[in-house]
Amino acid sequence: MKLILFCADCKKDNQNIIKFLIYHGIDNIAYIASAPDEKIENKENVKEYKHIPLISLEEFKTLVKNNKDDFLTLVFYPRLSSYDNTLKEFKEIGLVEFKNFIQYHLYNKKVALHWGNCHARATADFLKSDYTFCKEYSFYHCCDLWKLNQDELNFDVLKNADLVIYQDIRTQNSIGAFASSEEMKKYLKKDCTAINIPNMYGFCAFMYPQNNSKVRAAVESGFYVGNRSWLWYRDNYIDEYLENNPDYNVEELIKYLKSIEIDTKLLDELLEVFWQKIERVENTCQVKIKEYLKEHFTNEQLFIDIEHPNIQIFIEYAKQIAKMLNIKNPNFHYTNLTPYGHATPVYPQVKKYFGFEWDDDESKKYRPYESLLNCPIDFDEYVRQYCKFYNYWKNVNDKELKLN
């Protein structure tokens, strides 16, 4: 079967096409096709590239209309939205994903899929940073489940996946029953390897008693800067102080926050609930995490905010998965990690009570653009910036503040 390389959205040179040609060679490539006004090179009237004929979208449609089973089209795209648009257009002309076309990086690879949200995506990021894993598998590019509705679910990829890394999601969840683990597994082929990882979303309230995860200072749907959202969790201690002290001095507020007495009985209760939840997920998941949490409870920051584990948790997940896949001595890197979590400082009193020995309390360290200085910030600067955001939301964007 001959290949067609389809450029979905590539102004000027498409680096991934060039890499593909260098790595795989050109012998089996029949055409390079492009969407309207797109060229693999920024030149007028270019008819071929490396002796491979260049054709337009309309020429591509005419070619595959009656010969679709003679070609496999590899879709090159710079962003997921570009692929989604191409996916819809190809289906309209009768092409079938995984039979007539695929995402280019899946060529000659086993199809891996992460099913879930931040936990599954971060674990996948580390797996695909390992050379041995990448020689055999490539992850299908898809978004987190919370961004999907049932109509947008791609069942074709579920039916064609060779490996699925999934969060253990209950039938009763905030997204919908269609996103549950049990529903997803109904579509997998018999020889698919499905590995579930502990879903610890929202488990660590004992570390962040100041936060209310149900009320956020800025939500994705309403507070964007460019194409990125800023998300700061509401801090109950700061909110209460500002509401009672409208003429506050921020440096005095910082001193106050470091001196308040946090209810240690509440911390103990929240910790007990945490371990109960861990025990429950241990019973349902192939990947285990309880012993790692116990061993590193005081010497590592295990969670970066009230909803998200720290990234070393996902390295541990990836190590266990690699072992299940008979990958020896995996070497994971941070280079492929997509923006993750919304790092929030742990209050000094909480660190002291639990005997936490780690020093890293930088806020926004994995999403530095969420800070006003575009860099990670310490506790004092966190308070200063929170106050600036607070005043902005209250005076300019009151609908987003949603005060209790």
Strand 228-229 to strand 224-225: parallel, antiparallel, or no bridges (unpaired)?
A: antiparallel
Of 42, 48, 36, 47, nearest to 7 by C-alpha is 36
> Nearest 5°: CA angle at 275, between 273 and 281?
105
Beta bridge partners of 31: 4
Q: What is the pLDDT of residue 341?
A: 79
For the chain of 404 residues, list the mean pLDDT of each consecutive stretch of 10: 86 72 88 66 58 88 89 90 88 93 96 91 93 96 75 83 90 72 89 95 92 57 46 86 92 96 96 96 94 96 91 95 96 75 89 90 75 85 87 58 40
**Residue 306, both tokens:** 């009230």
Per-domain residue ranges for the chain? 1-107, 109-197+309-331, 211-307+342-401
CB neighbour list of residue 303: distance below 8 Å, 6 or more residues apart: 200, 203, 204, 207, 208, 309, 310
DSSP string, 163-193: EEEEE---SS-SS-GGGSHHHHHTTS-TT-E
**Cα gap 293→146, rounded to integer Å:** 27
**Cα gap 392→395, rounded to integer Å:** 5
Contact 257, 347 (CB under 8 A): yes
Dihedral, CA of residue 85, residue 86, residue 90 and residue 92, to nearest 10: 20
Beta bridge partners of 193: 163
Q: What is the pLDDT of residue 399?
A: 47
Of 18, 307, 272, 63, nearest to 167 by C-alpha is 307
Contact 60, 4 (CB under 8 A): yes
Cα Rg of the chain, angstroms: 25
Give the Cβ contact number of residue 79 at 10 Å: 11
Q: In the chain, how many H helices and how many E strands? A: 15, 14
**Number of residues in the chain:** 404
Contact 101, 160 (CB under 8 A): no
Contact 342, 233 (CB under 8 A): yes
> Nearest 5°: CA angle at 176, between 172 and 181?
70
Domain 1-107 and domain 109-197+309-331 have a common topology: yes
Q: Please tell us whether the domain made up of 109-197+309-331 is placed in CATH 3.40.50.12080.
A: yes
Its pTM stands at 0.87
DSSP string, 49-74: ETTEEEE-HHHHHHHHHTTGGGEEEE
CATH class of 1-107: alpha beta
**Cα gap 191→320, rounded to integer Å:** 20
DSSP-derived letter for residue 162 is S
